[in-house]
Chain A
């Protein structure tokens, strides 16, 4: 496999996460990128490529690059999409590096997703996507509603319960308690979960991720170059983006299976590992249910067993598959995927502090697992020690 392990993540940077940043998404992007470059031991003069994704809610590379004073941009990516494409941004950056098209790519996502553009709606109409006309007239237009619909389908098919979803929320909050960056650091119990109000039955408030102002950036460069920088490289062993079915494609209309099930075999083959080799899994948690279904679709348990698996303790920090070790989007903050990648890097560097998974060498980090935009994306990252 020519792509495997040729590119590496050499730097990670964040802005603070908040409910109101008070600054523009351009400022957030610049701050996160500068922090990531500093973490790598690089400067703006080293940057020759930028990559991001957005849904009309952020600042594009061709604004960020001149604002930073990047000398010359040789490659950039301004991808349309939300969470489902989050990991393809870093995957494509790695591909550009592996192809020799770019040398140092800064990948970023910068959003005021609480104070300006809320994914959960609350005042604005739905994004102008093809399928919206068949749902939005019925008041069905927000992500929690869509995932509630899929969660119910899973409950109908496999007997999955709200308590099982609750175990995911409780486990991730326990991780966030150990994460100084997390917005939600008060422990919660299953009773707290069950007492939280309905958003869209069968999903409750504590099934839903936060809406967050903030930015996160990662620096992608070649493995050889990364070895000369500040940290041991975190290699991009596998990167996948694709799928094919959406909830209105007229095919693949079993909504208990996501596009993750389709891309997972290709991703594992690319990286030369299997589910049993994954030490840490950062699974896209826009909602608890998206974690549950990905436990199945990435092969950690069989189809239908995601609920019992999640409730068994397997996904806790000391379990067989620590999941969302930073607290995830439910409790750390929601930067649409890239903060999962950043956490995986911390785990593989061994710098995750109180929440460090001992000896973590291989991590899976994933995007929103499909339905919307007919695809997903994911990375397998590996420590280069």
Chain B
């Protein structure tokens, strides 16, 4: 699906570039530690449990549960004026309790959000270079 940028363009760093490239290919990934197998997000070059520098990017399930959310009403940037109000969700991935991702709820009514509500990732192509992970109620 195509979408809009409600905020500012992300600036990937040297650790996160592979994640953003995967999102561009419509793949949701997390890092798997080569030392102890722990999954982690966001991107980091070192495991904070075993300190291994070895890791691989692995496909995530693409599903999760809503942990918290807001409905934003204030246009904090001039470009938001036509977008408010809009919902932002914080999703706990089904792959692991400590894996959280933000996104907008792009389908469904924010008034019907409940804690623990199952959601699934969708990919929004913003322009020729940028794709964002977004969330919708799981069907």
Contact = CB atoms under 8 A, between A and B. Distances in A.
B7 A137 contact: yes
A41 to B, nearest CB: 45
A139 B68 contact: no
Contacts of A248: 42, 100
B73 A197 contact: yes
B132 A200 contact: no
Given A150-B68, A200-B74, A141 B42 contact: no
Nearest to A202: B70
**Secondary structure at chain B's binding surface: helix, strand, loop or mixed?**
loop
A139 B10 contact: no
Contacts of B102: 134-135, 138, 140
A131 B42 contact: yes
B86 A152 contact: no
Contacts of B32: none
Contact of A149 (B41, B68, B76): B68
Contact of B73 (A122, A153, A201, A250): A201
A253 interface: yes
Contacts of A232: none
Contact of A141 (B8, B40, B48): B8
B70 A152 contact: yes
B139 interface: no
Contact of B68 (A128, A156, A249): A156
A308 interface: no
Interface string A106-124: 0000000000000011110
A255 B73 contact: no
Contacts of B8: 125-126, 136-137, 141
Contacts of A251: 48, 98
- Chain B interface size range: 35 or more
Given A134-B102, A139-B80, A149 B90 contact: yes
A139 B7 contact: yes
Nearest to B80: A139
B128 interface: no
Contact of A138 (B11, B68, B99, B103): B103
Contacts of A142: 74, 76
B70 A201 contact: yes
B71 interface: yes
B71 A200 contact: yes
Nearest to B16: A133
Contacts of B70: 140, 145, 148-149, 152, 200-203
Contacts of B7: 135-141
Q: Which of A138, A153, A156, A200: most chain B Cβ within 10 A?
A: A138
B99 A141 contact: no
A180 to B, nearest CB: 30
B86 A133 contact: no
Contacts of A141: 7-8, 76-77
A113 B5 CA distance: 27
A131 B8 CA distance: 13
B2 to A, nearest CB: 15
18 contacts: A120-B74, A122-B76, A122-B77, A128-B11, A133-B13, A136-B8, A137-B5, A137-B10, A138-B102, A141-B7, A149-B68, A149-B88, A152-B69, A200-B73, A248-B42, A250-B42, A253-B100, A255-B68
